[in-house]
Amino acid sequence: MPEYWHYRTFVRDSGLFLVGTYYDHRFQIGQIVREKITKSGALAKESHLYEADPNPETEGGQIHTTTIIEAPNKFPFGVSDSSGVFLFKLKFHPPDDPEAIIYVERKRRFLGDAPVFEYNGKKYACIKFELRETIGNEKEGIEAVEGRGEERYAKGLGLVYYSKTYGSGAFKMEARLTDIFPMSELERKATAIYGE
């Protein structure tokens, strides 16, 4: 399934920020993340989750969930070796179970150079990070799901590849950058499917 990300930057008195909006294959918003860009890296400041509203009376509606960011590290700009771990962690109450607390913990570790990435006939130098991810529920008796994977970032492009495998390996996610286009093209694609 394709996934789409729209990125934009803006400047405030407190610094430079990057906002990323994730759209699923149906062009529905699934997540909005606001990151502060610092000299040392990107730090998550806000993360909002969206899911389809199951209520038939609100067809096409979405439920918004605000998360609590406990560890903001999204991407380091400087790494001296592969021993350091960069932690990102958030928590939220799922709309269908407000008493539950779901958490996502992602640890990134720099692994050095990755294979060159080819896009539009050009070759881009890449680096890679090991991913270790834990998704759990703080309710007693509910076991967390562990995941492992890899991310690759190309110079001048950003994230161009990721893979994640969860549990015993039965569930795997993998994605690769295939195209870059303006928001107007995403709107055109959505309009072609849903009309105006």
Tell me the pLDDT tens digit for each residue of 116-128.
Answer: 999 999 999 999 9
CB 93 within 8 A of CB 65: yes
Q: Does residue 135 sit in helix, strand or coil?
A: strand
Q: What mean pLDDT do residues 124-134 have?
A: 96
**Quick one: pLDDT at residue 56?**
67
Q: According to the model, what pLDDT value does residue 82 have?
A: 76
Mean of all residue pLDDT scores within the chain = 92
- Torsion angle defined by CA atoms of residues 53, 56, 60 and 64, in that order, rounded to the nearest 10 degrees: -20
Whether pTM > 0.85 for this model: the answer is yes
pLDDT at residue 24 greater than cutoff 70? yes
